[in-house]
Amino acid sequence: MYDALNPLASAIRSRETGLSADRMWDASPVEVALSVLAAWKVMDGEVKRLTERAAMTAGSYGASYEQLGAVWGITRQGARKKWPDAVSRPAPATAGKSTLALFGGTAELAQSTSGGWGWTGRGADGASGKAPDGAPYATAEEAAAHAGAYLKEHALDIGDQS
């Protein structure tokens, strides 16, 4: 691994010291050792970032914390601690759904698998409607506001009930 990473570390040392690659060893031994340490620190940070990205990607495709831990050589609990957001927990069956009753009609709010919210409803006048396709709302509250406006539009006019 040293042979693979050393050219990159040398380039970082050269950039950090401002010396060309053939002159960067001309500094004092302490300065050379510190420049080597600084280069490895940069690489360590990048490896951690790439590792987290790989864990998040694996989790997004359905890998479990047990699988992530096994690959990394740690326990399931260790993987959960190392990458707390890598694996999404399934939401309870009741989460992501609610019913709205307004103006004599009802609307069902539902969260899609992508996380957006939509609605389907039936107004008091019997008209059925739903959120526009391809435009899910960012929050349940936003979907409820649009569903409520639809239900208000399709409420029975009290003056027409004589």
Look at residue 68 and tell me whether its pLDDT is greater than 70.
yes
Per-residue pLDDT tens digits for 10-52:
888 788 778 777 777 777 888 888 888 888 898 899 999 999 9
Query: What are 6's two structure tokens?
Result: 């050393």
Q: How far apart are CA 33 and CA 95, in angstroms?
A: 56
Q: What is each CA distance from 136 to 67, 133, 149, in whole angstroms? A: 33, 7, 16
pTM, two decimals, is: 0.48
pLDDT of residue 84: 93
Query: Alpha-carbon torsion 2, 3, 9, 14, what sign?
Result: positive
pLDDT of residue 27: 75
